[in-house]
Amino acid sequence: MVKTTIQDVSKHLNEEVTLGAWLHNKRSSGKIAFLQLRDGTGFIQGVIGKNDIGEDKFDQAKSLTQETSLYVTGTIVEDKRSPLGFEMQIKDFSIIQEAEDYPITPKEHGTEFLMDHRHLWLRSKKQHSVMKVRNEIIRATYEFFNENGYVKIDPPILTGSSAEGTTELFHTKYFDEDAYLSQSGQLYMEAAAMAFNKVFSFGPTFRAEKSKTRRHLIEFWMIEPEMAFMDHNDSLEVQEQYVSHVVQSVLQNCKVELETLERDLTSLQKIKAPFPRITYDDAIQLLHEKGFTDIEWGDDFGAPHETAIAESYEKPVFITHFPLDIKAFYMKPDPERPDLALCADLIAPEGYGEIVGGSQRIDDLELMKERYEEHNLTGDAYQWYLQLRQYGSVPHSGFGLGLERTVAWIAGVEHVRETIPFPRLLNRLYP
């Protein structure tokens, strides 16, 4: 008996094999039954003829319930009627465990119900495909940075201080001290860049914001590269190369998944470096031309503004040189326009919003001390960060890519809650 998985059935054409599987759905007539089987690696249809398997076994097959686990033995045959191209002619099966009243029936369900059953919803075709795309993005990320000489460094998740004062932090106790869950590993990655030159991190971040939109999660994953001896423009080139690599990898390695998701491939095929760049100044002007009267120079962009700017381009677009006042304390001012920061947001097409935020960092000790004063960062918690500018400071840049927004964009999923296995949302900590 040869055990295999559905993704490998093509290697066993016209052979008898055994699959461990779950019953996804079934259809039956008087003398023939069709079992839709899934094993986590794919979906295949099993065909049972009453005359081939005997009446008792056939009746048992007809009464199988959705999501019952079973071992199925049969011959893999080619069939043009199957979307996979293959079917299994079932010779025998044995039930491992019979599932009763599986909640997610093959009909439509609402968001709340599906989210309450997220642990089961992950078994469905669409959710399965989204997670495979997510996995491919992660795989392509490691591939890109490893091939380009980056070292993966893991910043801490429990911290004694915040990276950016503005967002709300999750508070917890660290024995007798106060501690917070990380909302960004960036400051630690700057230290790592001074030790390893080019580094990247991949880990969870936590924001206790009361945000309730299709672009927000309370717990989400970020990829944060940081590069010594790279300026703002060098960083933009890394970003567009990286994002292009990820999109092209998904196109190449997730064909079946993108088809299941009914993703428009032509728009993804266009995602190749270089990406267009527009300055904040020009973006404001563009918005005024598009009829946005509610925004003035010095304001930050809201979601409708980002979408309007992205609509003008087929690729992701960099918005560069934001006013220093609306950006984080560590960003380096443009020497030619000291009121602007050497920074950029990368806005994804099709209304998916900001997927990357990055900047060149301040490398001058005195200027960083000034920023500390302005932002009241005078405690002990940030002293180590200051020392990075004291002991061999160099120009350096970095960025952070939000994984879930990137998955949502590439997979063509409307809401980021479907791009992470177990989303943490406002009002949702279960399952």
Residue bearing tokens 């004062």:
165
Q: Which C-beta is closer to RNA: that of 27 or that of 270?
A: 27
Q: Which C-beta is closer to RNA: that of 211 or that of 252?
A: 211
CA distance 34 to 62: 9
Rg over CA atoms, the chain: 26
Q: Which C-beta is closer to RNA: that of 349 or that of 353?
A: 353
Q: Which C-beta is closer to RNA: that of 66 or that of 141?
A: 66
Closest distance of CB 99 from RNA, Å = 10
- Single-letter amino acid code for the residue at 147: E
State the chain's maximal CA–CA distance in angstroms.
86
Judge whether 219 and 424 are in contact, CB under 8 Å. yes
Closest distance of CB 98 from RNA, Å = 10
* C-alpha angle 18-9-125 in degrees, rounded to nearest 5: 95
Closest distance of CB 175 from RNA, Å = 29
CA distance 208 to 160: 16
Closest distance of CB 177 from RNA, Å = 25
Q: Which C-beta is closer to RNA: that of 262 or that of 336?
A: 262
Mention every residue, 6+ apart, whose C-beta is less than 8 A from residue 324: 331, 333, 338, 339, 340, 341
Closest distance of CB 233 from RNA, Å = 19
CA distance 406 to 254: 15
Closest distance of CB 415 from RNA, Å = 5
Q: Which C-beta is closer to RNA: that of 138 or that of 365?
A: 138
- DSSP 8-state secondary structure symbol assigned to residue 425: B
Q: Is it true that the peptide bond before 274 is cis, omega within 30 degrees of 0?
A: yes
Indicate the SS3 state at residue 117: coil
Closest distance of CB 109 from RNA, Å = 4
CA distance 366 to 376: 15
Q: What are residue 171's DSSP bridge partners?
A: 180
Closest distance of CB 176 from RNA, Å = 29
Closest distance of CB 62 from RNA, Å = 7
Q: Which C-beta is closer to RNA: that of 139 or that of 214?
A: 214
Q: Are strands 333-334 and 2-4 parallel, antiparallel or unpaired?
A: unpaired
Q: Which C-beta is closer to RNA: that of 112 or that of 380?
A: 112
Q: Which C-beta is closer to RNA: that of 264 or that of 300?
A: 300
In three-state form (DSSP H/G/I as H, E/B as E, the rest C), the secondary structure along 326-370 is HCCCCECEECCEEEEECEEEEEECCCCEEEEEEEEECCCHHHHHH
Judge whether 251 and 259 are in contact, CB under 8 Å. no
Judge whether 295 and 336 are in contact, CB under 8 Å. no
